[in-house]
Amino acid sequence: MYLGAESCEINIAGKYTIRGLETFEEKKSVHQIVQTAKITLPLSYVIRNNELIKRVKLFDNIKEGDSISIAYGYNGKNDNFFTGYIKRINVKQPLELELEDELYLLRKLNLTKSFKKNDVREVVQYVCDELFKKYNVRLTLYEKMPKLTVTNFIMNGANGVSVLQELSDTYGMNSFLTTIDGKKTLYCGLAYGLKFNYINYIINANTINVDDLQFKVGETENYKVKFIVHAPSGIVTKKEFGNKLGDSLTDVHLYGSFTEKEIELQAEAHLAAYKTGGYKGSFDTLLTPKAQPCDIAVVRDLQFENREGNYYIATVTNTFGTAGGKRKVEIDFII
């Protein structure tokens, strides 16, 4: 499929605009707090100022912490792919920049505060308020954040990312930056609590590589799953279900009061969903159709119509450059 001539526009620190690159790769996932990217650029570039033309070394004019935005498309119609900051500059040929999204700024915070018994929203709101005080950057919080009591939560010189990571490790509250209703939003909630758009994929039609995609029959699969129950009192209980020697599924977090039988029934239902089988792994496509984490992939194979299913897209890796562009879509489970 020919989409036209590739085009891109890179803006650094609001001062420099570059319309060419070597390679770009970004990874967006519900499983990581800070979304990352890497871009390679020529060591120097030519600038024109009226009649004056000169060559400038790029690495002499940028620094770690500079803002950066990257747009890419065809025939000058570019879509924004990445907005964030330069985390690291690797001076080599070509010049390599390691990037992080806007949550990069959370690493720069130094937080000192104790929460004896508070709703988790108060903890996250405090982090966002401190970000606004220091950098004048306001994050919109996810409106439907689960109600959860956080007890004896102590920040002693912690940064914002480490706080969100502790909320994930202890309370199962996944966090990442996304866009909801046109607003950049800090999502903080269950791992698969967001669902966006349904994207249609037909194997070997609008996919370009399916080598890492396998179809498995559920009855031959054995799984185990860990349920982590957060009681209103703040007590956390962990229980494992399924085949102890089987593959581990993503931990499931429950919030509230549950009897042993209620937990067991939920575990059986969760395991049953995986025993239905389906596609596992990832596949490559062009950069169209658009896809992002939290979208639902509707996967069809015209040779095996009975294999059609809807799958949760957890991770998307976009790459483009002089060799063209592609998207790797990783699916976690059938829904």
The per-residue pLDDT for range 297-332, each reduced to its tens digit, is 999 999 998 889 999 999 999 999 877 889 999 998
The whole-number pLDDT of residue 305 equals 87
Quick check: 221 pLDDT over 70?
no
Whether residues 24 and 50 share a domain: the answer is yes
Whether residues 174 and 247 share a domain: the answer is no
Quick check: 220 pLDDT over 90?
no
* Confidence tier at 249 by pLDDT (50, 70, 90): confident
Q: CA 275, 281, 285, 287: dihedral to nearest 10 degrees?
A: 100
CATH code of the domain in which 30 resides: 2.40.10
* Confidence tier at 233 by pLDDT (50, 70, 90): confident
Mean pLDDT of the chain: 89
Average pLDDT rounded to a whole number, residues 231-235: 79
Average pLDDT rounded to a whole number, residues 158-178: 93
Quick check: 43 pLDDT over 90?
no
Q: Which residues pair with 101 in a beta bridge?
A: 84
The whole-number pLDDT of residue 284 equals 97
Residue 98 lies in a domain: yes
Residue 47 lies in a domain: yes
Whether residues 98 and 10 share a domain: the answer is yes
Whether residues 62 and 133 share a domain: the answer is no
The whole-number pLDDT of residue 76 equals 67
Q: How far apart are the first and last CA of the chain?
A: 30
The whole-number pLDDT of residue 49 equals 61
Average pLDDT rounded to a whole number, residues 160-178: 92
The whole-number pLDDT of residue 4 equals 57
| Cα of 110 vs its chain's centroid, Å | 24
The whole-number pLDDT of residue 134 equals 96
Residue 1 lies in a domain: no
The whole-number pLDDT of residue 51 equals 63
Whether residues 257 and 324 share a domain: the answer is no
Whether residues 54 and 145 share a domain: the answer is no
Whether residues 252 and 231 share a domain: the answer is yes
Residue 199 lies in a domain: yes
- Residue pair 289/268 in contact (Cβ under 8 Å)? The answer is no
Distances (CA, A) of 250 to 181, 188, 192, 328: 28, 17, 10, 21
Whether residues 335 and 203 share a domain: the answer is yes
Whether residues 222 and 313 share a domain: the answer is no
Q: Which residues pair with 85 in a beta bridge?
A: 67, 100
Whether residues 80 and 116 share a domain: the answer is no
CATH code of the domain in which 318 resides: 2.30.130
Whether residues 169 and 235 share a domain: the answer is no
Contacts of 77 (CB under 8 A, 6+ apart): 7
Domain boundary among 276, 293, 322: 276
The whole-number pLDDT of residue 240 equals 92
Residue 285 lies in a domain: yes
Total domains in the fold of the chain: 4
Residue 271 lies in a domain: yes
The whole-number pLDDT of residue 294 equals 96
Average pLDDT rounded to a whole number, residues 236-260: 85
Domain boundary among 261, 276, 291: 276
CATH code of the domain in which 119 resides: 3.55.50.10
- Residue pair 312/331 in contact (Cβ under 8 Å)? The answer is yes
pTM: 0.85
* Whole-angstrom Cα Rg for the chain: 23
Residue 203 lies in a domain: yes
Quick check: 128 pLDDT over 80?
yes
Residue 80 lies in a domain: yes
Whether residues 162 and 26 share a domain: the answer is no
The residue range of the domain holding 223 is 218-276
